[in-house]
Amino acid sequence: MRILQVVPYFSWESGGPVRVVYDLARELAKRNHEVVIYTTDVGPLHRLNESEKIRLDSRVKIHYFRCVNNWIAQKWRLQLSGQMVSAFNTSVKDFDIVHTHETRGFHNVCVWHYARKYGIPYVLQAHGALPKRLEQQGMSFVLSKYVFDAAFGYRTIQGASKVIALTDSEVQQYKQIGVKPGNIEVVPNGIDLSDFEDLPARGKWRKRYGIDDDQRIILFVGRLHRTKGIDLLLKAFKEASGVIDDLKLVIMGPDDGFRANLENLVQELQLSGRILFTGFVAQDEKIEALVDADLFVTPQFYGFPVTFLEACACGTPILTTNHGGELDWIDNKLGLVVDYDKDSISEAIVSILERDSLRQAFGREAQRLVRDRFSLEKVTDRIEMLYKECVA
User: Contacts from 332-335 at CB under 8 Å and sequence distance 24+?
Assistant: 333/362, 333/365, 333/369, 334/362, 334/363, 334/365, 334/366, 334/369, 335/296, 335/362, 335/366
Is the pLDDT at 336 greater than 90? The verdict is: yes
Position with higher pLDDT, 181 vs 74? 181
Give the mean model confidence (pLDDT) for residues 42-71: 91
What does pTM read for this prediction?
A: 0.90
Q: How far is CA 279 from the centre of its chain?
A: 16
Q: Go through the domains of the chain in sequence order and give each one's CATH number.
A: 2-190+375-391 (3.40.50.2000), 194-373 (3.40.50.2000)
What is the per-residue pLDDT for 42? 93
Q: Kindly state the percentage of the chain with pLDDT values over 70.
A: 98
Judge whether 189 and 212 are in contact, CB under 8 Å: no
Give the mean model confidence (pLDDT) for residues 78-107: 94
Percentage helix, strand, coil, to 5, in the chain? Answer: 50, 20, 35
Position 134 confidence tier, pLDDT thresholds 50, 70, 90? low
| CA dihedral of 238, 240, 243, 248, whole degrees rounded to 10 | -80
Is the pLDDT at 303 greater than 90? The verdict is: no
Position with higher pLDDT, 256 vs 73? 256
What is the per-residue pLDDT for 312? 97
Give the mean model confidence (pLDDT) for residues 298-325: 93
Judge whether 229 and 305 are in contact, CB under 8 Å: no
